[in-house]
Every structure is written in structure tokens, then in C-alpha cells.
Amino acid sequence: MACGNMARPALRLARKSEPELVLEGKNSMAIERLNCWEYSKCGRESCGNNSEGFGVCPAASEASFDGINGGQNGGRICWAIAGTFCGDKVQGSFAEKRGTCLECDFFKQVQREEGTNSHKVKFLQFVSEEASTSILKKMGFRHVRAGERFLRQGQQVDAAYIIQRGSCLAFVEKDDAMLPVGHYGKGDIVGVIAILTGEPQGPHVEAETDMDLWVVNRDLFENISNEDPELMRFLTELVAERFDSRRPIAHRVIGKYVATSFVRSGGYAIVYKGVHSGLNMPVAIKMMRHNMAMDPDFLSSFHNEAKTIASLRHDNIVRIYDIEEKYRTVFIIMEYLDGETVRDMIERLKRISPRLAVDFLAQSLVGLDYAHSMGIIHRDIAPGNIMVEPGDHVKILDFGLACAIGTDEYGAAGTLWYTAPEQINGDVVDQRTDIYSLGITAYEMVTGEKPFAKEDVETLKHLTMDIPDPGKIVPDLPPELRQFILKACRREPGERYASAAEALDALMALWHRRNFTKKSVPAGQQKMKALFLVYEEGQESAVNRLIMELGTRADEMEITINVADALTLSRRGD
């Protein structure tokens, strides 16, 4: 129970060199924070001495806990991971083993070490020295006993808690299981998302040890935030950081949609899988990060993305259904796509075959050509923004940086590895800007590596360097594809393809030669239809796009298409 008039533990803040604040008396020496396998020397980490014979311990392989308490995977929150190997035996779920874990020497060491942690998420480090005395006087105080659940999933909360002493575990109740999602100690704040955004509390929060908590009620929280913009910025970044996690989430109701699981994250938005609650239709829900929602320019850009995609109706571009504004941010509701991004595919396969690469590039160019015809430049074409659905169907994602053709306003430059020189320099961007980015993407598809070293990109040396020849890395690369990549990636826009249609034309001869047959048809069951396309001179690009779209559909139906060279017909007068 909150007891604002109880004696409060002493807390003083000392100012360091701006802008950081640190707890006075903190040991400034770096502490080597061990993971559980390093502490116990069990050898069950990946590539450990005992991993081959006994398997990798879940604490070492559970990547969703990466970064918790400054450790790797679940290495410093092993008590929250089911099936860990400890004490010469396999442990059960965290609910089953937590009593034993609380008495573990490693657990106690982690608590001591985390109490000295000066990581940026420590709330009170961002309260100015002048404001701290006034704020602390207005806070309530609450003592919580070990095992007490002081925040409950789904409840409407009216206070956040700053941990003065002790530690707690956050977990989500989902699918008849308790799933740990976070661990917090001295200086951390919990309950802040519900207070800041106004949505119901996400995970349950339960004390692992006896705890002393400072209580920040909603009114005080809002006063602090309004009076200290830097603190508010920190809090929104903290909220974004906690949302940006592959750990399980409680179902979040967003209007008529329910977000059910994390999909991926980017620099300014987080994407969740969800469902339309009335139609039971799967959707993707793209949430603008709360720290970005504070920036009017980014907020305008996010709205612009929704309007931009809503105006685009093409089979190679992701569809948008709806927009919801809730919880101090904006949600774009889009079609949910099964499959993997080209980025994921490169990581899985190391390289993408020239046959597939040409198919993906051709479909991307068809989608870009349509967007360009609508006066829109994507400005962030990259492997992570090209989705490959089952059947190798491609859709372009993320029009968040899209702009009108001919824009010269310098803004967010996209993903630096793939960004055209004119975009970095703030010069006019047009269709050729997207073609450059697609060319760099193509290079990475077929070689499995980026054309420039990280240090060269970070120092912008690629503004004065041409890409290396991909044919030297992949000797059997088809000449047409090699030439496409080299020309698409010219530093000077005038030396690239002038349009997506022209770039597609350069790939069509190679695309025509690809084999669309997925399985052989027994002799005697094959049939053939002939189709002749008669068109005017100057319609070559449009016909190529038509053939490519027909070929993609035929591929799905396991039909073979053979394309012959065009004949020139002489027109006779009547």
C-alpha cells in the first residue's frame, strides 16, 4: 500500500559533466558482468565444451532476452528462462524454480551489479538537480514484499514506480502460460508505458525481492514531463525501447484491431502482427515510435506514408487499410504478408541465385515504375523493404520516406548503405534515386555482401567511389545482370537507367530465358496455346511489363512460357 508519509530512504544525486547525472558515490570502475554460463562454467553456451553433447542451454540461445541486464541472450536473467541447465540438472519453468533461483549466488551477484548500473534507462539520472528535491518530496513511497504482484496485466494504472531498492520481473500471461519479458532493478521505472500512453498496463510486474518504490502519480508525472522536455524525450525513448522487443507482448487493442505479436522494427516504427477483431482478418500494424511521434516533421511524414500507400493500388506494393491514432502515437493498418524479406533471405541463403534475383528485381521494377508514374519516389529501397511471399511474389514495403519526384529538400536519407549520392547531398531526387538503391540491393543479392566497407560508408567515401565489379566475386554471373548492376549503381544519375521501365527492359532478355516449369507434365498430357502480341513501335516497355506479369502468374500455375524474339511486321494498305 502506498504510504506517502512513511520515512523514505535517502537518495542524493550528484551532477557529472553535462548532460549525464549519476548516483553519488557510484563506483566508476567498469564491472565485468558475467553471463550464467561464464559464472558456472557449465560449457552449455553456443560452441561451449558441453554444447555438442548436451545441447545449448536455453539461457544462451533465447535471443529475445538479448541485452537484459547488460547480458547476452538470457545469460543474466537465466531464472526467467525455462529448461536451463543448472545444478547438474535441467530446471523447470521460472514459476517452478524461482524460489531456488532467489537463493542462487549468481542471482545475488547480478542484483548487486545491477544496483551500480549507470545505463541510460535509470530514470532519476535524467531529473535535474534543481528539480530533484521538489520532485522527491511530492512522490509517494511504497514497500512491496517479495512475490507481490503490484502491477497487473490489462489494468488501468494511475501511477508509475521508480525502484529504490530490490528487483522485479515482468511477465505476460498468454496462451495459458506465464512468459517473462523483462527484469528491472534499482533506478529503473515500471508502469511508465501505461502512464505515458494511456493504454492498459502491458505485463504483470511482480517483486522478486523485497522492494522500496517511489510512487509517481499521473498528475505529478505529467507535470514533470511538461516542465522538463529533455526528461519527456528520455521517457518516450524508454517507451520505444521497451516496445522494440521480440519478447512476447500482451494483446493490445487498437481501435477495432488487436496487436498479437512482434514482427520487426525499424528506425522510426515497429510492426506487429494483428487481427481485425470483427472480421478475424490478419493485418500488419505499424506503430510510430513514441519518441518520433513527438517530432511534428516525423509525425507528418508518417501520415504522409499512410496517404501515399493508400493511393497506390498495385500487386507489387503493400496495401494499406486503415489509420488509427491512439496512445499518443499513430498506427497504420496494412495487409499482413507471409514470407520473408530479401534481407532475411540473404542471411539464410548467403547468396540469392541469379535466376531468383532477376525475378525479384523485375517485379520490384514493375512496382517502382507504377509508383513513379504516380509521381512518388520511394527513397528507401533496401533488402529489408522488399518482401518475398510464397510463390516468389514480391511486394515493396515502407514508403515512410517517400516524396514527390524532383524533391530537393534534404531529409532522412534512408538506409545509408543503399542511399544514392544525390540523396545524401540533398540534391534533386527522381526515379534514378530508387534505381541506384535497387542496384545496390541487387549487388548484395548475388554476392552476399555489400559493395562498400562499413568505414567507407560511414565516412561517405562511396560518394566518390564506384562499386566494385560483382562479376569478380561471382564469375558465372550472367553478363546482362552484371551490366544491370553496374549501370544502376553509377554515381552520376545521368549515367544510370533513366527510368524503372528502361531498367526493366535491360533485364527482360535475361528474364525471358528463365525456366518457369515447376514440375514436368507427363507426355501425352501436354497442350500448347500460341499467343501473339501485336503492338506499335514505342510500346516495348509496356509489353515487357505485361509479359513479366503474365509470367509470374504462369509460374504460380506451373505453366511454361516461352518468349520468342519480336518480329517486325510490314503494314499493307487496304
Catalytic residues: 380
Please, what sign has the CA dihedral across residues 268, 272, 276, 282?
Answer: positive
**Using alpha carbons only, what angle is made at residue 457 by residues 454 and 461, rounded to the nearest 5 degrees?**
125
Extract the C-alpha cell encoding 446.
548475388
CA–CA gap between residue 110 and residue 104 (Å, rounded): 10
Write phi, then psi, for 322 (nearest 5 degrees).
-160, 165
H/E stretch holding 73: none
Under a CB-based contact definition with an 8 Å cutoff, are residues 367 and 314 in contact?
yes
Residue count (the chain) = 574
Residue 378: CB atoms within 10 A of its CB come to 28
Under a CB-based contact definition with an 8 Å cutoff, are residues 174 and 202 in contact?
no
CA–CA gap between residue 245 and residue 248 (Å, rounded): 8
3 state DSSP class of 258: strand
CA atoms lying within 13 Å on the CB side of residue 453 = 4
Write phi, then psi, for 355 (nearest 5 degrees).
-60, -50
Residue in 290, 236, 244, 291 with CA at minimum distance from that of residue 126: 236
Q: Which amino acid makes up residue 304?
A: N
CA–CA gap between residue 65 and residue 167 (Å, rounded): 17
3 state DSSP class of 99: helix
C-alpha R_g of the chain = 28
3 state DSSP class of 311: coil
* Burial of 357 from C-beta contacts in 10 A (0-12 / 13-18 / 19+): buried
Beta bridge partners of 386: 396
CA–CA gap between residue 330 and residue 296 (Å, rounded): 12
Long-range contacts of 189-192 (CB under 8 A, 24+ apart): 189/121, 189/123, 189/160, 189/161, 189/162, 189/163, 189/216, 189/238, 190/151, 190/160, 190/161, 190/163, 191/151, 191/157, 191/159, 191/160, 191/161, 192/123, 192/160, 192/235, 192/238, 192/239
Grid-cell match 514508403, residue found: 399
